[in-house]
Amino acid sequence: MKPADLFVTGTDTAVGKTVVARLIVRSLVASGARVAVMKPVAAGSQMTPEGLRNEDALGLIAESNVALPYATVNPYCLAEPVSPHLAARAAGVSIELPPIEACFASLRERAEHVIVEGAGGWLAPLGERLFVADLAAALALPVVLVVGMRLGCLNHALLTAAAIHQRGLPLAGWVANHVDPDFARLPENVATLQLHLGMPPLASLGYGALAAGSSRLSPAALASLLQTCQRKQLT
């Protein structure tokens, strides 16, 4: 299996980025690969005896089979559960790309795959002039887009995909995550996105489908993702 790294973003916050990132990591680990994870910026963390820890970052670490210091996986761990730029300001921290790039390089030396999860949506601000999109571009990674399937998702997904392409980054795949149990015409909406994104979803997740944490991508979906990623990997 050739190395391939990915950046997981979403159409908004609370659309299942961590669920999908964990799904991808779990699937790769089950295939026998060495997989490292990264949550560069996390806002909303709890104090522990070891220091601030973020639940999403810990969830990713639980799926990974490459042991690394927490600070390498999550270099910017912020306490307040608000937009990252506001949480950083409250903590007196300035989020900068070089420390993140250094941690990513360290992860890449130790694993066949590094799965990086963003914060919020594609244009969530990390600083006054720094956005999640800048982070993905700095790491030069193909992107997996998590679409929260609810009213308005078509507009959000297509705008996000256009913004990803505008930054010169390839869309390696997308996942339809059913976040609203009352969302009408789910199959038709998935079909509309498949048409306009130019690819079928890697997975279409039912409401609460991953609560047990046991699901994986199908072998065909995983192979398709890796093949697409390897063709489009930016170096």
Strand partners, 204: 176
pTM for the whole thing?
Answer: 0.93
Specify burial of residue 168 (Cβ count, 10 A radius: 0-12, 13-18, 19+): exposed
Q: Give the pLDDT of residue 215.
A: 76
Name 146's Cβ contacts closer than 8 Å, sequence gap at least 6. 8, 9, 10, 11, 15, 16, 17, 19, 20, 174, 175, 177
Query: Exposed, middle or buried, 170 (CB in 10 Å: 0-12/13-18/19+)?
Result: middle
pLDDT of residue 212: 41
Assess if residue 1 is contained within a domain. no
Is residue 153 pLDDT above 70, yes or no? yes
Please, what's the b/e burial string for 108-120 (b: 16 or more CB within 10 A of its CB; e: otherwise)? beebbbbbbbbbb
User: Is residue 31 included in any domain, yes or no?
Assistant: yes
Question: Quick one: how many helices (H) and strands (E) in the chain?
Answer: 9, 10
Looking at the domain assignment, is residue 48 inside a domain? yes
Q: Residue 154 pLDDT more than 50?
A: yes
pLDDT band at 235 (very low <50, low <70, confident <90, very high): very low
Residue predicted with more confidence, 203 or 156: 156
DSSP 212-223: TS-----HHHHH
192-200 CB contacts, 8 Å cutoff, 24+ apart: 192/154, 193/147, 193/153, 193/154, 193/157, 193/158, 196/154, 196/158, 197/157, 197/158, 197/161, 197/171, 199/171, 199/173, 199/174, 199/228
Q: Is residue 216 predicted with pLDDT exceeding 90? A: no
- Say how far apart CA 174 and CA 164 lie, in whole Å: 12
The CATH number that applies at residue 131 is 3.40.50.300
Could you tell me which of 181, 199, 217 has the C-alpha nearest to residue 20?
Answer: 217
Position 42, amino acid: A
Q: What is the pLDDT of residues 46-89, one digit of tens each?
A: 999 999 999 999 999 999 999 999 999 999 999 999 999 999 99
Which residue segment(s) compose the domain that 139 sits in? Answer: 6-232
Catalytic residue among 2, 17, 39, 232, which? 39
Mean pLDDT of 4-9: 94
What mean pLDDT do residues 202-210 have? 77
Residue 26 lies in a domain: yes
pLDDT, average across residues 152-157:
98
Q: Identify residue 29 by its one-letter amino acid code.
A: V
- Average predicted confidence (pLDDT) for the chain: 92
Is 119 part of any domain?
Answer: yes
pLDDT at residue 211, rounded to an integer: 45
Residue 84 lies in a domain: yes
Q: How many domains does the chain have?
A: 1
Share in percent of the chain as helix, strand, coil (round to 5): 40, 20, 40
- The yes-or-no verdict on residue 121 having pLDDT over 50 is yes
Backbone angles phi, psi at 49, to 5 degrees: -60, -25
**39 counts as catalytic:** yes
Q: Is residue 128 part of a domain?
A: yes
* 162-182 pLDDT tens trace: 999 999 999 999 999 999 999
The predicted structure's pLDDT at residue 226: 78
The reported pLDDT for the residue numbered 220 is 78
In-domain check, residue 106: yes
The pLDDT value recorded for residue 233 is 57
| pLDDT band at 102; cut points 50, 70, 90 | very high
